[in-house]
Structure 1
Amino acid sequence: MGSRWVARLGLALLPLVALAQQPEPVGRFRQPTTQVGDVVEFELTFRHPAALEVVFPDSTADFRPFEYVGRRYSPTRTLQGQSLDRAVYRLRTFALDSVQQLSLPVMVLRGRDSVLLPTAPAAVRLRFLAPAATASPPALRATTTLLPVEARFNYPYWLTALGGLMVLSGGLVLLFRRRLRRRYQRYKLRKNHAYFLAQYARHIERFELSRSATNMERAITLWKNYLTRLEDSNLNSLTTREVEAHYQHHPAMSSALRVADRVVYGNLLAEDETPEIDQAFAQLREFAEQRYQLAGARVQAA
């Protein structure tokens, strides 16, 4: 019975004995030196019998004092019963030791058992870029004199103030938008009315100097265009009769338009009609003043 157990134990130990006789995996750095944070390549190779199942380390392995960056594998090469596995690991270090070592294990699977075969430690030397410290550091000198500092524009405060001002302005506009709209409309009415009066007076002056029906027609056209914009109507496209009907045959306005038609279309410019023509110009100006006052009252009541 005892000899049978010894035989079984010997059979179980045969793979391990054979494995112990195989070459160990080899690991080496492909560069002799590196710098802090630079990528260095570590090459791991393992030559073994083709029948063995071999597992190389992955990203979860312990690479200390290095950090794992990536890896690439080479296909297994088999020749005369011997296989060669190879992998290159890309690592980097932030440790400050002048010489840093790394050993990676290769796992060999035997049924339900597994054996870790570590590589011999491989070393890489760290290159330092900072100059070496001198034997005696320079003497320090205390300086308490304040140096002038250039003033910098405080963007956060100014942007905050600008944002607050915009919010306040928006609130005021929303609160007083009706009043502000009325004031703006009244301003537009005053501006347009002042422009009309100036242009109307210029046309009258030109008519008095030239006694030309063309200048009379231009004054009437200006008057119609002004009332069209003032009351948002189509007055400038209406005939004299239609204008009279539009304003319910206003006496002064109707009389002035008939005089203008007689001058423009009848070419009647006798000397004795000058007072009547001047009165017609004045009546049209007064009528425009009245319509301006009514438009301002409507804006105020809105």
Structure 2
Amino acid sequence: MQGRLLIYVLGLLIMMGANAQKITVKGGFVEDSLKIGEDIHYWVSAEYPDHLELIFPDTTYNFSPFEFSGKEYFPSTIKTDRAFDSAVYTLQSYEIDPIQSLSIPVFILKPTGDSTRIDAGLDSIFFKQLLEVVTDTTSLKTNLAYQNVPTQFNFPLLWIILGVLMVLTLATYLIFGKKIRKTIRLRKLKKDFIAFSEHLTMDIRSLKEAPNQKIAEHALTEWKNFLERLEQRPFSKLTTKEIMALEYTGELNGTLKNIDRCVYGGRSSDELYKDFQAIEDFTQHRYSVITDQIKNS
């Protein structure tokens, strides 16, 4: 009798330990149907042990067949060693498949830098057609009113003018094309850099006053988008590990990891604004390097 009781107690303890480590991820569409280009919403919630580090996908994730439009993240709550996270994604679709499906995962970060993917479960939504089928019985209205027909256009003169313009354009391109392309790119980069610097300065000021996960995520996305245009590399699709593998980003190692902890792990720090100041200094240096390369090419 005592042996059976001991086995029962051991089994109960094993089950309780398994439940304590259980990770539950759920998700699905808020709406039941969609129209082309219309905003729809997909919710994701996760329950997991509070000692784990969990992140939700950002703008770089492939939401196919849908396109990412926005994301609203709700701060973590903790109850009896269990953490609860949730987010709502705003998506759009330009596909016409009658049924369109999606499963948004979450990722558990490991101390080794790897991650484990956990899917929320596949959910489907119906496509709502806006046009009805036109049948053979549809009646057409006949218009017999007089229509004024314009006189014949002088097409030979038009082709002569277009030919002269094409020759002049080609000659200008052959003589000054390289210089024009360099000037246009430098002006565009300068305009983009000024706009990026102004936005980043405002974000840094806000983070210095009070650390905020949404502001940090917005600033990180803006930085990747600008760096993608500056370096002509797909930075918006690269992970932190892939960015650090580049030959000129070694100084950002600790900086990007601190930002990732805030953006994806929900762990804010009063010193977070300093990491974005380091981002600002790095970007200004890369802007000077790239513009000098363009001028001297």
Please say which structure displays the higher CA radius of gyration.
1
Higher relative contact order (CA 8 A, sep 6+): 2
TM-score range, shorter chain: 0.3 to 0.5
